[in-house]
A and B are shown apart, each in its own frame.
Chain A
Amino acid sequence: MKGEGEILIVHRLLDEQILDSDGKRCGRVDDIELRGSPPRIAALLVGEGLYPRRLPDRLRGAARKLAGPERWGANALRVPWEKVDRIDAALHLCCKAEELGLGEGDDPERWMVRRLPWN
């Protein structure tokens, strides 16, 4: 379902689950970058730094304190549209999450979970 053509970006793309080429869940489409006229999708934007802009004005300040301000490359990432392989029940990338810096929050080293017995 990808390629040239039209897509209902809010209905079908925004907030969609992203899976990498190994099927690993690595974030959701938190925002979309459009360019040109007529607008075309340039990139998907992913990361907790983008959460504040999804909230009403009044909550934005508080959300920035919690999620941290938008820092590109750290808590806000750009996934070029070319990296999207296909969209079916979820959005599949054609590369590994690490190549784009996605899914770093699920790095086991950060969470001391290696020794848990139910691995």
Chain B
Amino acid sequence: MKSILRIALGIIAALGGFLDIGDIVFTTQAGALYRYDLLWAVALGTLGIAVYAEMCGRVAAVTGRPVFDVIRMRMGFGLGLVALVASTFVNVLTVAAELGGLAIVLQLLFDAEFSLFVVLAAIGLVFVVALLPFGGIERVFGYCGLLMLVFLATAIHQGPDWGEVAHGFVPSLSDSKLYLYFVVGVFAAALMPYEVHFYSSGAVEEGWDESNLRENRLNASVGYALGGLLACTLVVVSGFLFHPVGVDPTDLGTAALPAQGAFGETGLLLALGGILFCVGGAAIDSSFSASYNLAQFLGWEWGRYRGPRNAPRFTVSWLIFLFLAMLIVLTGINPVEITEYSVVLAVVALPLTYFPILMIAGDRSFMGKHANGLISKTLGWVYFAVIVTLAIAAIPLLLMTNGGGG
């Protein structure tokens, strides 16, 4: 009974930790522009992160190796360094995007200067990390992120033509560059690399071993499937409300409006609260990922569980990354723009971190009987091909569509 409860709680944490500012921005815009047409890309991205996270969690549980440990082992110092620099750049940009998102939501809730909230958000995150143990951080943000369920209720309340919604899950391509840009964006937002950096390092922080493999499978399948469902809901509510009237939701606050339309001020507050916790959790995950990666690559001591005294370089680098991200937001670049760049650049960096994981997860000399089976192997390689294709297409699409501006 206890283990069922623990697993259920883990799934909720995975579900709450799935959505971040990238998902919210891209799904809301995708709904507004293309109604339900891009739901298939959300589903495809969700399956992708589930496959990838399951492999990373399994490798971490069986070998005790998080992602960048594996990258250094399999790609060596030179190529591994390229992966490290690219991932760190993307991760810091992501932290900046999440911090900006936090500040936008805080600004909507309490009227004051944006830059003040950026600084307060960063300080708030340091306090949260100082006060809560590792598992507590994951759970608080995961459970409170469930406020996002208000969007599911909104979708049901709106009562869209469900046949049309279902049709959105049939993959379709068009020669519109903007449409293709959103295919890449929605897919990449689901597959942000920091999610697996954090997930696998978290598995080591919590001392996972082979007995946690079932938990890992359930987190990746049920947890991420529910997270994907929430992401799909964001497309649906935005498509229902914004697409017919041609609203282009260029700021984060607009994403919360459908909930207000359905449930008035309560709905709005629940939605803003949900976004606040999702984005806040993602800010911690992505900033931790940046220092996990650096410490693992260079062989430093790392982990929230070690404390600053035993892992000083890890701790100091975390504070520095958070500070850098804060400076990026304070330059005044629109956080939604930072988000779009971080998501699109993330897919470019993704093959470098995905490939070594695929190699080691299939290597029996490391994984023994837990090496990739036929299904994981097939899905793993299919997704690798998809990721490489999208990585090649991402930058040209970003430039040709002027960052989704059309």
Contacts and interface: CB of A to CB of B under 8 A. Distances in A.
A113 B314 CA distance: 11
B308 A113 contact: yes
Contacts of B77: 15, 30, 51, 54-55
Indicate the size class of the contact surface on chain B.
20 to 34
B312 A110 contact: yes
Contacts of B80: 15
B309 A119 contact: yes
A38 interface: no
A2 interface: no
A50 B142 CA distance: 42
Contacts of A117: 130-131
B310 interface: yes
A54 B310 contact: no
A117 B130 CA distance: 6
A118 B307 contact: yes
Contacts of B65: 17, 89
A113 B310 CA distance: 9
Contact of B76 (A25, A48, A54): A54
B313 A111 contact: yes
A116 B73 contact: no
Interface string B295-308: 00011111010011
23 contacts: A17-B69, A18-B299, A26-B299, A27-B300, A48-B298, A51-B77, A54-B77, A55-B78, A56-B78, A105-B300, A105-B313, A106-B300, A106-B312, A107-B312, A108-B308, A111-B315, A113-B308, A113-B312, A114-B308, A116-B315, A118-B131, A118-B308, A119-B307
- In order of increasing CB-CB distance, the 5 nearest A-B pairs are A28-B299, A54-B77, A111-B312, A113-B308, A116-B308
Interface of B: 63-65, 69, 72-73, 76-78, 80-81, 129-131, 298-302, 304, 307-313, 315-316, 365
